[in-house]
């Protein structure tokens, strides 16, 4: 009986490997700013059927990864928070695991007057794989240009893509 149990467990482990091992990560973009040297990577995780399983952000300075599963992608995801307040958030609109989504990034234009703006992009699948686009043009870099007064950061002037 003991031998049968061990053989059964080994058979299950051999024929049914973990689905996590079959995930594939695709680098979408690097996010940078002219205010600090820290950068983030935005990464798409696909499951074994090549469908979206999650979006990850990787803090390249701290080597810290945050994973956002498909169950939360339709809600605003906080990317940057300060003093308990969400500064930059990302939300997927009309999300599907096979086609992607419209991406909406909300950011502070001027915190002194509470002004926020929105940057729109798309996460889409094409014949070459997955990519981010802005106004139809693909990009791999998202650069935040700081709005400063007397050297103090008060918001983001604009977001550039490259």
Helix (H) or strand (E) holding 127: none
Position 3 in a domain: no
Residue 83: the pLDDT is: 65
- Does the pLDDT at position 156 exceed 50? yes
Domain of residue 110 covers 17-161
Task: Let me know: does 81 contact 68? Beta carbons within 8 Å.
Answer: no
User: How many structural domains compose the chain?
Assistant: 1
Position 55 in a domain: yes
Position 10 in a domain: no
CA 46 to chain centre: 13
- Does the pLDDT at position 138 exceed 60? yes
Position 2 in a domain: no
Question: Collapsing DSSP states into helix, strand and coil, what is residue 10?
Answer: helix
Position 12 in a domain: no
Position 65 in a domain: yes
What value does the mean pLDDT take over residues 78-106? 88
Position 117 in a domain: yes
DSSP secondary structure of 16-81: S--SGGG-EEEEEEEEEESS-S--EEEEEEE-TTS-EEEEEEEETTTTEEEEEEGGGTTS-EEEEE
Q: pLDDT of 17-41, one tens digit each? A: 444 558 999 999 999 999 889 899 9
Position 79 in a domain: yes
């Amino acid at each position: 009986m003991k031998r049968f149990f061990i053989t059964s467990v080994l058979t299950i482990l051999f024929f049914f490997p973990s689905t996590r091992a079959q995930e594939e990560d695709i680098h979408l973009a690097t996010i940078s700013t002219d205010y600090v040297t820290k950068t983030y990577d935005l990464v798409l995780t696909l499951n074994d059927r090549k469908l979206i399983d999650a979006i990850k952000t990787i803090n390249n300075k701290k080597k810290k990864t945050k994973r956002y599963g498909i169950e939360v992608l339709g809600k605003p995801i906080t990317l940057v928070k300060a003093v308990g307040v969400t500064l930059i958030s990302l939300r997927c609109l009309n999300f599907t695991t096979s086609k992607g989504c419209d991406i909406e990034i909300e950011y502070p234009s001027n915190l002194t007057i509470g002004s926020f703006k929105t940057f729109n992009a798309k996460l889409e699948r094409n014949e070459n794989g997955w990519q981010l686009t802005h106004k139809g043009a693909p990009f791999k870099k998202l650069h935040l240009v700081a709005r400063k007064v007397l050297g103090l950061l008060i918001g983001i002037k604009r977001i550039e893509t490259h």
